[in-house]
Every structure is written in C-alpha cells, then in structure tokens.
Amino acid sequence: MKDERAREDMQNKRSRGYVWLVGAGPGDFGLITLKGLAAIAQAEVLVYDRLINSNLIDRAPAGCEKIYVGKQAANHAMPQPQINELLYQKAAAGKRVVRLKGGDPYVFGRGGEEGLYLAERGIPFEEVPGITSSIAGPAYAGIPVTHRECASSFHVFTGNFKDEERGLDFANLARLEGTLIFLMGFANLNYITQGLLAAGKPAGTPAAVISQATTQRQRTAVGTLADIEEHCAAAKLSSPAITVIGEVVNCRPQLNFFEQQQGRGVLVLRDARQSDIFAQKLRQAGLFPVSCPVIQIEPLDWQAAELQAALHKLSTYSWLVFTSPNGVKAFFEAMQAAQVDWRALGRAKFAVIGRATAQVLQQFGFGADYLPAKQVSDALGQGLAELLTPADNVLLPRSAIADNRLYQLLSAKCPVEDLKIYDTKICTEDAQELRGCLENGQAAYVPFTSASTVDGFVQACGGPDLARQLLAKSRAVAIGPVTAARMQQLELPIYAQASEHSLDGVIEVILQDLEGKEND
Ligand code: SAH
C-alpha cells in the first residue's frame, strides 16, 4: 500500500516539472534509500556525478535521458552554474528530473546550491538524503565515528581549499576531543597531518585513510598522525579517500567486517524465485550472494490437454519421479489449480534426484521413497530402473528442456509419461550488472547450478569468448557432471566441481577453497 501511494505521489508530480536531489550513498549499491531508488525508477532525466554506482544509473527507466556532469579533481566536466541551469531548464520543460549525487547531497555535495537555485525560480523539488561517505566509509573500514570511551563527537571537514582560499584552523582542530574526518583531502594529506602536529596534536594519534570506500575495491591504510602518509604511499592508495583521525581507529581490528568479506562474493545466476534459498544458504555459510539471474522458471500452461489428462489419472501411476525442486513445486501448483484431490496420490511412490528435491517434496507432505546415492540423473535412472517392473507406470513431471536419457533408462523397464511442466527461459535483463560484478572482482566465485545457468550466463556475457574473458578474475564451480559437460562444450574454465551435486555441495567446495587460500 505504502509503495503504491509513494508511486502515485511521484506520478502526480508528472504533469509539471519536479526535481529530486537524491543521495546515492557512498558506493555500495545497497546503500541507497528506498525513496531514492523509487525516484530513479521514474526519472525522465537523470543528472549524475562521478563515483555513482553504475547499477543505480541502470535503474532509470528505458528512454530516460542520462546526463553525466561529473567532475575530475582538476577538470570540471560541467561548471556548477551550468548544472544548476540544466536542472532548472529540464524541470521548467515539465520533466521529472533526478539529480543523483554521491553520499548525501547536502554534505559537501553542493546540493544546497542546486536547491536554492531551483527554489528561487519556483521549481518544486525535494531532497532525498543519502548515506554520507564520511560516516559509511569509516564504518566499512571497521571504524565507528563515535565511541563512548574515546570520542563523544565527530567533525567532518573538507580538505580541499582550492575553491575556498581559506585553510583549516589547526589550533582549534587540535583541541577537539572528537574524531576528525576529512573529505576531499587526499592530495592535501601532508598539509593536514603537519598542521595538526604543529598545533600540538600528539604524533601517536591513530589515523586511517580509506580509499574507494564501500566498493569491492576498498582499501585502507592505518598508522598514526606521524606516519599515515608513508602507509598510504606504501599501499598505493588513491583518491577518492577519507581520512579519519582519532582513537576510534583502534576499533578496526575487531570491527573490520567488510574487508574481511572481500573475496567471499558468490554470483547467484538462478531465477529470483529460487535464488532466495541459495542466497540464504550462502549467507549462513558466511558468503556473500551477488544476485544476477540469467534464467527464469515459468510454469507451462496448466490448461494444456496433456497436463490435465495426467492430473486426472494420477491414481494410475505407481511412481512419480522428480528431477528438481522446481518440478515438485510446479507439479503441486498445477494440482491445486486443477483442483485434483491429493488422495489420488495415495498409492504412488516418489523418486527424487537429490536431497533438495526431497526437502521440497516433504514441504508438500510427501516423503521420498527413492533417492540415489549420487545426485545425478544417470544414477537416478539406473537405480530406479532396478526397482521397476513391467507392471509399473511412471510419471516424470519436469522441465521442457530436460534431456532424453533419464526417460530412456526408465522406459526400458515400464511405461513412462514425460510431462513437461515448467519451462526454463534465459533472461538477460541484468546482463550489465552481471558484467560489472565480474569485471570489478565482486564475484570471486561463479557457481553454475544447472546447464541452463551456463547457457544463460554465456548469453548475458555476449557469447562464449566474452564469457571466458569475464570469468578471468573468478572461480567457476560446476554443481555436477551435466553442468560441467555444458561448460566444457562452451570452453568455459572449470575451477572445481562439487562432489555432492547440490547447492550444499557447491557451498562446501567454495568454503574449502577459501580455507585453502587463508592457509596459503
Ligand atoms: N556528498 C558526499 C561527499 C562529496 S565530496 C558524501 O556525503 O559522501 C567528495 C569526497 O567524498 C571525496 O573526495 C572523498 O573524500 C569522499 N568520498 C565520497 N565517496 C567516497 C568513497 N566511496 N570512498 C572514499 N571517499 C569517498
């Protein structure tokens, strides 16, 4: 309801021009507000800066005019008065304009100037605050800006004086008990540290510099007021960076959650409906799901004559065979849609390919009667075939793209009905996000959990050659032999194959690999 009202509210601002000054947060895609994301999703014009997560820009609707006005340190891509005028002109022409700025628009973001310019000209606008890098950057480096024992205030300064021609009042700064935070000050780090030292701030005061904070490229140098510059040079840190000075830096060893997580990103390529389970399992294992679905599961037409016929003679089957959790779900949903009495299944036995499928079956109230030791379709076919007699009658509800081998193995023993119950479609909507995650090393591991995820991945990457290139920084894991065979066909590198062919098995391989890396 609330979402709807927010959308309506935004749509009402459609008829006349309107500007949203939106804070994009410090870099991590997840650190934007819901309100900010909703504003982007309905923008007709998007005016954005440097340092904005490209995934946010991709959230603008098709047809949105995207205008980059970003500034490089010395070369202003578009002077501020021109940006002000651009926002005004677009809004005056009746457009819904989103001005997307890094961090919070009103923290050294010149959002105030833009707002005033619009207000003076009668353009309606609102500001959507963002998470400022001055707080989030230290937080992602394990540094709280306040702490009851050592900092009861924090102070954020600009370290860039080119525009202002006034320096910092170091005598005042050195007296402050709170944490000192400097934005835009990387080039002036020497001036800042020397100024504070000269004003009497102790040389041993802990200091940290965080570069590219909250992104997968985040790096932090830690030292003291006296030697932080050397540490930055040794670590080859570069701008954009935040400098933090104060005792709170000492919390970093215990609180540094984010940098410890780097290298633990796992790409999730499955349909969003299913990927929840995988994402949850990954999080429980201390890994970080990066979701970019390339396949979509769609139930087939439940009115189809073949399906209706099978559902209405369920009591004639002695075995139902399921090869995936999706098959189980789609089957029972179809039964519900067709209002079939579940007692029709009273005498049937159930065979499943693996534990995950058995679990979903259990959710519907049925136990699995047969589960092969090896969770692959050949093992299921061969093992079950041994139990079948010519008097049996098998129903095999599964994907429309399943291969024929299982059917052949079973039908050698008794009648088998291959029922196509859901379709697996490739979707490449998130292709850009996917390529970004691979290029910036955010997805350390790329597990392929079915042959269809391999196909979807290759299509989203733009072909096998590009897919191979994009995988260069990641480790590709195959869930089992069928998936691995498809990867081999397309000449994708296989870093490892799960020994148990399940999501848990995939997670196990990744955890083992990480353990190996840590022990190196
Ligand atoms: N409005 C922004 C600040 C804009 S000034 C905010 O609230 O965060 C630009 C400065 O912010 C940079 O020079 C740098 O000091 C800091 N900054 C912004 N994003 C950063 C990031 N991801 N990592 C490190 N510093 C960042």
- Measured CA to CA, the distance from residue 151 to residue 246 in angstroms comes to 8
Give the up-direction half-sphere exposure of residue 26: CA atoms within 13 A in the CB hemisphere: 24
CB atoms under 10 Å from CB of 129, counted, come to 18
Does residue 261 carry a pLDDT above 60? yes
Average pLDDT, the chain: 90
Q: How confident is the model at residue 441 (pLDDT cuts 50, 70, 90)?
A: confident
Q: How high is the pLDDT of residue 77?
A: 74
Mean predicted confidence (pLDDT) in 116-142: 97
Ligand 1 contact via 108 beta carbon (within 6 Å) = yes
Residue closest by Cα to atom 13 of ligand 1: 184
Task: Report the separation in Å between the CA atom of 502 and the middle of ligand 1, taken as the mean of its atom positions.
Answer: 42
Mean predicted confidence (pLDDT) in 162-183: 86
Which pLDDT tens digit goes with each residue over 189-198? 999 999 999 9
Does residue 427 carry a pLDDT above 70? yes
Mean predicted confidence (pLDDT) in 450-469: 95
User: Is 184 assigned a catalytic role?
Assistant: yes
- Measured CA to CA, the distance from residue 442 to residue 445 in angstroms comes to 9
Q: How high is the pLDDT of residue 2?
A: 57
Nearest CA to 297 out of 360, 242, 381 is that of 360
Q: Which residues contact 71 (CB under 8 A, 6 or more apart)?
A: 49, 50, 77, 78
Nearest CA to 321 out of 292, 353, 291 is that of 353
pTM above 0.75, yes or no: no
Does residue 393 carry a pLDDT above 90? yes
Q: In what order do the strands lie in the sheet with 154-158?
A: 154-158, 179-183, 241-245, 206-211, 219-224
Mean predicted confidence (pLDDT) in 309-337: 93
Does residue 164 carry a pLDDT above 60? no
Written as six digits, the tokens of 264 are 């633990």
Nearest CA to 246 out of 192, 194, 177 is that of 177
Atom of ligand 1 nearest to the CA of 186: 15
Higher-pLDDT residue of 376, 224: 224
Atom of ligand 1 nearest to the CA of 214: 22
Task: Report the separation in Å between the CA atom of 445 and the middle of ligand 1, taken as the mean of its atom positions.
Answer: 29
Q: How high is the pLDDT of residue 73?
A: 47
Which pLDDT tens digit goes with each residue over 363-374? 999 999 999 998
Ligand 1 contact via 53 beta carbon (within 6 Å) = no
Q: How confident is the model at residue 3 (pLDDT cuts 50, 70, 90)?
A: low
34: helix, strand or coil: helix
Percent of the chain scored above 70 by pLDDT?
93
- Measured CA to CA, the distance from residue 443 to residue 301 in angstroms comes to 36
Instruction: Report strand pairing: 416-426 vs 219-224.
Output: unpaired
Which pLDDT tens digit goes with each residue over 32-43? 999 999 999 999
- Is residue 397 within 8 Å of 325, Cβ to Cβ? no
Does residue 416 carry a pLDDT above 80? yes
3-state class percentages of the chain: helix first, strand second, coil last, to nearest 5: 40, 20, 35
Does residue 12 carry a pLDDT above 60? no
Mean predicted confidence (pLDDT) in 98-105: 97
Q: How confident is the model at residue 293 (pLDDT cuts 50, 70, 90)?
A: confident
Instruction: Report strand pairing: 295-299 vs 416-426.
Output: antiparallel
In order of 320, 331, 346, 351, the CA distances from 369 in angstroms are 10, 18, 13, 6
Q: Which of 144-158, 223-237, 292-306 has the lowest mean pLDDT?
A: 292-306
Written as six digits, the tokens of 9 are 């509210």
Does residue 11 carry a pLDDT above 60? no
Mean predicted confidence (pLDDT) in 306-317: 92
- Measured CA to CA, the distance from residue 19 to residue 127 in angstroms comes to 9
- Which is the catalytic residue, given 90, 101, 184, 455? 184
- Measured CA to CA, the distance from residue 96 to residue 215 in angstroms comes to 29
Distance of CA 115 to the CA centre of its chain: 32
Task: Report the separation in Å between the CA atom of 246 and the middle of ligand 1, taken as the mean of its atom positions.
Answer: 19
Which pLDDT tens digit goes with each residue over 47-88? 999 888 877 888 899 899 999 998 654 566 789 999 999 999
Does residue 163 carry a pLDDT above 70? no
User: Is 49 assigned a catalytic role?
Assistant: yes
Q: Where are the alpha helices (DSSP H) in 67-213?
A: 80-92, 111-120, 133-140, 170-175, 189-198
Atom of ligand 1 nearest to the CA of 210: 24
Q: How high is the pLDDT of residue 483?
A: 95
Distance of CA 286 to the CA centre of its chain: 15
Atom of ligand 1 nearest to the CA of 109: 1
Give the up-direction half-sphere exposure of residue 74: CA atoms within 13 A in the CB hemisphere: 1
Task: State the sign of the Cα–Cα–Cα–Cα dihedral 358, 363, 367, 369.
Answer: negative
Which pLDDT tens digit goes with each residue over 464-520? 999 999 999 899 999 999 999 999 999 999 999 999 888 999 999 999 999 887 665
- Which is the catalytic residue, given 10, 49, 329, 430? 49
Ligand 1 contact via 140 beta carbon (within 6 Å) = no
